[in-house]
Amino acid sequence: MAQEPDLIKFRAFLYDTLALTKSIVLHLPTEAQKYNDYLALLNPNYSAPDDTQQWRYYKNINEELFTSPIPNHFANEVVSITSLDDGTNFTLTRSNLIFHPYTRNELLKFESYYDEVIKRYPNEELYIKSVISDKTDTLPVTDSTPKLKIVRINKALIEQQEDNIVSQLQDWIDNYQVTWFFEQYALSDGLFTAAQLTELYYAIFRKIIAIRLQNAKTIKAHSFHIETYLASILKLDEQFYALDFKQKMYFYRNILYLNNHVGSNQTFDRLIDILFNERKISIQAIDYRAQNKFVGFDRQYAFNKRPLNKTDIVYDYKDLNLDELSKLEYPLAPSNIDHWKTYIDKINEKLKFSLHEILYTKDLSSI
């Protein structure tokens, strides 16, 4: 059964939000200590360096490889993956990913390709996520970095107008930490921290959706909410892909006003300005103009193109005859062809004997 377009868009919105959630890396000192505890379990003589930046956790979260003092144990493997851009094998580092953008995008979807890489390198997931996600701060992550601070996230899934997503999410995580994140239980339950992180990431997914819903009807609204709103009024979602960001936000804010003032010159001029002038797209009105030429007793006429742009833009000056104009209107409505074939002779007769030198039509033309 074919899915409704609205359902497809909604699911795409949820999948992107889920991918955004999965891209988040949080700083957790308890996790750093767990790494050291595991090293000590492998070798009772191991003691963590005084410099915490040399710990495996902080090495990995800062996109560095950890060299284990215990031979063949818990050292980072060099992560080598197959590029989806050109089919070559390369070492996974941030500098190398610059030359493999499609590969990085596929990893950031956290789907089958990402799962294959993690299956091959199960102990390197923190390093891999830190490499493929974007930094939220230019400073390295240290033991003095606040607990549960967002240090990595996929910024490509945060739209330019959503400048409050990370800050509001961080405030919410800080409050969540005070209310629910009791790490003392981890002293008696080794899986408590893992269980808490599972619950936290699920809650983060819901919180991102809630923040975006709260941003609806504001200048920070996500494109899904903008498109859905425009679709509910005049089905403008069908042209949504052709609009730039400024145009989308303009219609999101003013569509009700425009709809209530249809037909006014002010509305028409504003639409010409926002849709065509700012993007340097030519737009012309098509006017009937009588000519001082006669064939027998029939006066000749043509349809001239009158530029509507406020700036000088190249456009097609060629005049149209009635047959050419009718063919331009054919695809605009299902009944246009039948209408023109039925009434073209009557229309031609009225125009030939019109008492007006100029008549404005409702036709517009653009290159």
* 301 class by beta-carbon count within 10 Å (0-12 exposed, 13-18 middle, 19+ buried): buried
End residue of a domain, out of 147, 175, 203:
203
Q: What is the pLDDT of residue 34?
A: 85
Q: pLDDT above 70 covers what percent of the chain?
A: 97
Length of the chain counted residue by residue = 367
Distance separating alpha carbons of residues 267 and 259, to the nearest angstrom: 9
Q: How many domains does the chain have?
A: 3
pLDDT at 121: 94
Would residue 212 count as lying in a domain? Answer: no
Give the ranges where 273-358 is alpha helix by DSSP (H).
322-329, 336-352
Strand order in the sheet with 134-135: 25-26, 150-153, 134-135
> Is there a domain that residue 155 lies in?
yes
Quick check: 258 and 271 in contact, CB under 8 A? yes
Q: Which residues of 253-278 are buried (b: 16+ CB within 10 A; e: fewer)?
A: eebeebeeeeeeeebeebebebbbbe
Place of tokens 């009434």: 343
- Band (pLDDT 50/70/90 cuts) for residue 185 is confident
For the stretch 42-64, pLDDT in tens is: 777 778 888 999 999 999 999 99
Strand locations in 65-205 (E): 80-82, 89-91, 134-135, 150-153
Average pLDDT value for the chain? 90
Q: Report how far residue 63's alpha carbon sits from residue 132's, in angstroms, rounded to the nearest whole number.
A: 9
Structure confidence at residue 189 (pLDDT): 75
Higher-scoring residue by pLDDT: 315, 154: 154
Indicate whether 190 belongs to any domain.
yes
Q: Residues 273, 294: one domain?
A: no
pLDDT of residue 1: 45
Angle at 107 between CA 129 and CA 25, to 5 degrees: 25
- Residue 217 domain flag: no
**pLDDT at 41 > cutoff 90:** no
Whether residue 112 is found in the same domain as residue 243:
no
Amino acid at 363: D
Q: Which residues form the domain of 233?
A: 223-277
* Residue 70: predicted pLDDT: 62
Domain termination residue (choose one: 254, 277, 300): 277
Domain boundary among 170, 203, 236: 203
Are residue 129 and residue 247 in the same domain, yes or no?
Answer: no
In a domain, 211, yes or no: no
Could you read off the pLDDT of 59-114 as tens digits, one per residue?
Answer: 999 999 888 666 655 778 899 999 999 999 999 999 999 999 999 999 999 999 99
Are 306 and 272 part of one and the same domain?
A: no
Q: List pLDDT tens digits, range 209-219.
A: 999 999 999 99
**In 3D, which of 123, 61, 100 has the Cα closest to residue 92?**
100
